[in-house]
Structure 1
């Protein structure tokens, strides 16, 4: 078990991506603290982790609320004594489906503001625990956005969101590296499983994501969980300030 004895927080842990990461963490021995706004979905993931013999806690937390984030981090440390891994996947799949020039400014900026604020607050809370420990891992999700998809798919503000978060990742890695804290992005190139059934244009999006992959298929949620485990583990101790490319060749470095 690569994460045996470690404590992890997953913000957005009740969603498809957050849930996949949380379940993989649990399978690999981490005590997982699931944070989000919907208790029922968080509890469902926690039940899966517990059913597989793992440890999970559920906390209803608004990651846009500064006091709520800081208060929750205090509870996490009280439970486990430390924090080893912090993952935030909030507002990472919000493809809005409207051409940019047809959008209201508030709608365009919504995913940008949501992701940047929540990731700042959660990363800051994590770093304030990890710095005295002289170690820890902060994981983001998304990677550098492939703007060529805008020819076929109206993405709204999500592309700018990804690029803004990547800038934050680089800054955090630079500031926190001397304290033994690693900051990494998981870059998938898009996940067909996260496109809701019945979503207008779903088939076209899935075909696009799979077609862009050199391997002929895009990454799966299981892939995301397993790579997240590796990134959070000591096996990846030399990886920081980087984006781990798990796009199946959709993004060629």
Structure 2
């Protein structure tokens, strides 16, 4: 197994993307620590992992609360013996469907502020332990991308660009300690769209149509890519993105 003996923290572990990554981590042998604000989805993912023979623990946690994140990271490292993988996929509170010219300032800035704060807090908490270990992987999700006419993604793209700037800086500063920092870029995951989302089918169709392979990335694809990126199979990959967009996001 790719992650046998590793300890992984997934912030937003009860969500669709966090759950997919957590299940893949556990499948590959990692002990998974799911953190989030709502107990029911965390427990649901934990039960899925346990029923498949994996190890999972849950913690109610606001990933914007620096003290709580630091205390949780300390507990994980102390009880499990190490903190090897950190992935933050909490929701950023973005508002979509409204042109910037018609948006409220707070709606545009909310995802940017949330992304910067939570990425800083969770990456710093992980880095403290990983620097002592001289090893570890910090994963981000989103990455730089393009915006098609009429998408009206508000501050989401700005938030992703901010995360990328932080990922580049973290990779440079933490590389000498053997810590890798990698972003997963998807171009959109139709399965992750809320079932009651207005225009869900049209949005999912647009995501698929934008790909070269004419199939969008799935949650299973996300989990597989996250497990690979966190493993020694990707030991030479840092300061980089792994593009799982099926060709929607082009790297020429």
The aligned runs of 1:147-226 (5 Å cut-off) are 147=147, 149=148, 151-226=149-224
Instruction: Name which of structure 1's ranges 117-126 and 193-202 shifts more when overlaid on structure 2.
Output: 193-202
Hey, what does 2:27 align to over in structure 1?
A: 27
Number of residue pairs matched?
Answer: 251
5+ residue gaps in structure 2?
A: none
Taking structure 2 as the reference length, the TM-score comes to: 0.97
Match of 2:129, SS state, is helix
Hey, what does 2:52 align to over in structure 1?
A: 52
Contact map agreement 1:35 1:61 (CA 8 A) in 2: yes
The aligned runs of 1:1-253 (5 Å cut-off) are 1-91=1-91, 94=94, 96-147=96-147, 149=148, 151-253=149-251
In 2, Cα distance between equivalents of 1:145 and 1:233: 25
In 2, Cα distance between equivalents of 1:90 and 1:80: 23
Match of 1:184, SS state, is strand
In 1, Cα distance between equivalents of 2:13 and 2:85: 13
5+ residue gaps in structure 1?
A: none
Contact map agreement 1:8 1:86 (CA 8 A) in 2: yes
- CA RMSD in angstroms, aligned pairs only: 1.1
Q: CA distance change for structure 1 residues 93 and 188 in 2, over 3 Å: closer, same or farther?
A: farther
Instruction: Name which of structure 1's ranges 10-19 and 202-211 shifts more when overlaid on structure 2.
Output: 202-211
In 1, Cα distance between equivalents of 2:198 and 2:31: 38
Q: CA distance change for structure 1 residues 92 and 185 in 2, over 3 Å: closer, same or farther?
A: farther
Match of 2:132, SS state, is helix
Q: CA deviation at 1:145?
A: 2.2
Contact map agreement 2:130 2:179 (CA 8 A) in 1: yes
Contact map agreement 1:61 1:68 (CA 8 A) in 2: yes
- 1:187-224 Cα offsets, whole Å, 9 max, x none, are 01111111122311212211110001100011000000
Match of 1:18, SS state, is helix
Taking structure 1 as the reference length, the TM-score comes to: 0.97
Q: CA distance change for structure 1 residues 154 and 103 in 2, over 3 Å: closer, same or farther?
A: same
Contact map agreement 1:92 1:142 (CA 8 A) in 2: no
Q: CA deviation at 1:95?
A: 5.2
Contact map agreement 1:92 1:141 (CA 8 A) in 2: no
Match of 2:236, SS state, is coil
In 2, Cα distance between equivalents of 1:93 and 1:170: 24
Q: CA deviation at 1:93?
A: 8.3
In 1, Cα distance between equivalents of 2:92 and 2:68: 21
